[in-house]
């Protein structure tokens, strides 16, 4: 009799575990979907590193003075785009603009974003 009681108890515990998994997991996904959007942190402008990145990867399309060429002018991009828009464009690319997700580290992405944002 107590054997049945114990297995009943275990079954209930298992069902409760499954219930928790089923209800708790979608909750977490919701948090990920509706959580606060990514915000580029406030960083000091690192012109030296940024110019190195720019010269290596961006100059061919955006020009040596950010005046543009194959890509648009970036000399005043800080007043046209938010840091978040800049970050996303550089990271993910857009039409003729290549994605730099794989070629730049997160730090480098944030560095060049902050530098471009300072060009108002
Ligand atoms: C192969 C050429 C090419 C390279 C290399 C390139 N870009 Fe671009 N970039 C473009 C083009 C083309 C666009 C316009 C995309 C569009 O029309 O949606 C663009 C758009 C942008 C924009 C948005 C400008 C706007 O006015 O909307 C930013 C910011 C930008 N590039 C930054 C960079 C940075 C930073 C690098 C180097 C890490 C880089 N680009 C390298 C071609 C390039």
Centroid of ligand 1 to alpha carbon of 56 (angstroms): 14
* Residue of 60, 62, 77, 93 with the most ligand 1 atoms within 8 Å of its CB, for mutation: 62
DSSP secondary structure code for residue 58 in this structure: T
What pLDDT does residue 35 have? 65
Q: Is 72 in the pocket of ligand 1 (CB under 6 A)?
A: yes
Q: Is the pLDDT of residue 109 over 70?
A: yes
Residue nearest to atom 41 of ligand 1 (CA): 58
Alpha carbon of residue 98 to chain centroid: 16
* Residue of 97, 98, 108, 112 with the most ligand 1 atoms within 8 Å of its CB, for mutation: 97
pTM of the model: 0.79
Which tokens sit at 8? 């009943």
Average pLDDT over residues 9-32: 60
Q: How far is the C-alpha of 74 from the C-alpha of 80, rounded, in Å?
A: 9
Which tokens sit at 26? 């979608």
Q: What is the pLDDT of residues 44-90, one digit of tens each?
A: 999 999 999 999 999 999 999 999 999 999 999 999 999 999 999 99
Average pLDDT over residues 11-29: 60
């Amino acid at each position: 009799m107590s054997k049945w009681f114990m297995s009943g108890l275990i079954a209930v515990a298992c069902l409760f575990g499954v219930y928790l998994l089923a209800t708790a997991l979608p909750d977490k996904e919701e948090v990920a979907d509706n959580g606060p959007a990514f915000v580029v942190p406030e960083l000091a402008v690192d012109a030296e590193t940024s110019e190195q990145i720019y010269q290596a990867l961006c100059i061919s399309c955006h020009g040596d003075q950010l005046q543009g060429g194959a890509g648009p002018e970036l000399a005043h991009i800080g007043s046209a785009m938010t840091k978040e828009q800049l970050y996303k464009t550089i990271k993910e690319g857009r039409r003729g603009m290549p994605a730099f997700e794989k070629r730049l580290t997160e730090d480098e992405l944030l560095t060049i974003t902050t530098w471009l944002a300072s060009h108002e």
